[in-house]
Amino acid sequence: MTELLRRVDRAAGGLAVDLGLYVVAAVFAGITAVTSTLLPHRAWGAVAAWGYAAAALAVLVLWLLRRRDPGTSARSLIAWITWAAVAGLPLIIQAVQRASGRTDRAQEEVVVVEHMGESLLHTGTPYLSRSEIAAIPLDERLLGYRPYQPGMSIFGLPRAIAGDHWWTDARIWFAITTVLALAAAVTLLRPSASRVRAIQAATVLPVTALTLATGGDDIPVLALCLLALALAATGRYGWSGAAVGAAAACKLFALPVVAVLAVLAIRNGRWRRFLPPAIGLPLIALLPPLLVNPDALIENVLRFPLGHGLVTSPAQSPFPGYLISQSLPGGRLVAAGLLVAAAAMIGLLLLRRSPRTAGTAALFCGWGLLAAILLMPTTRFGYLLYPAALLLWAPALRKDTATTAPRNDTALYRQ
Domain boundaries, the chain: 1-103, 106-401
DSSP state at residue 100: T
* CA-derived radius of gyration, the chain: 21
DSSP state at residue 329: T
Q: How far apart are CA 409 and CA 113, in angstroms?
A: 41
**What's the CA angle centered on 397, arms 21 and 58, to 5 degrees?**
25
Q: How far apart are CA 167 and CA 294, in angstroms?
A: 32
Helix, strand or coil, per DSSP, at residue 403: coil
pLDDT at residue 407, rounded to an integer: 39
- In 11-55, DSSP assigns E strands to none
pLDDT at residue 165, rounded to an integer: 96
**What's the CA angle centered on 366, arms 254 and 181, to 5 degrees?**
50
Q: How far apart are CA 221 and CA 113, in angstroms?
A: 14
pLDDT at residue 184, rounded to an integer: 95
Residue-by-residue pLDDT tens, the chain, 415 positions: 566 667 766 777 788 899 999 999 999 999 999 999 999 999 999 999 999 999 999 999 988 887 666 777 889 999 999 999 999 999 999 999 999 999 899 999 999 999 999 999 999 999 999 999 999 998 888 889 999 999 999 999 999 999 999 999 999 999 999 999 999 999 998 777 788 989 999 999 999 999 999 998 999 999 999 999 999 999 999 999 999 999 999 999 899 999 999 999 999 999 999 999 999 999 999 999 999 999 999 999 988 887 788 887 776 777 888 788 777 777 778 877 888 888 888 888 888 888 999 999 999 999 999 998 888 877 778 888 999 999 999 999 975 444 444 434 443 333 3
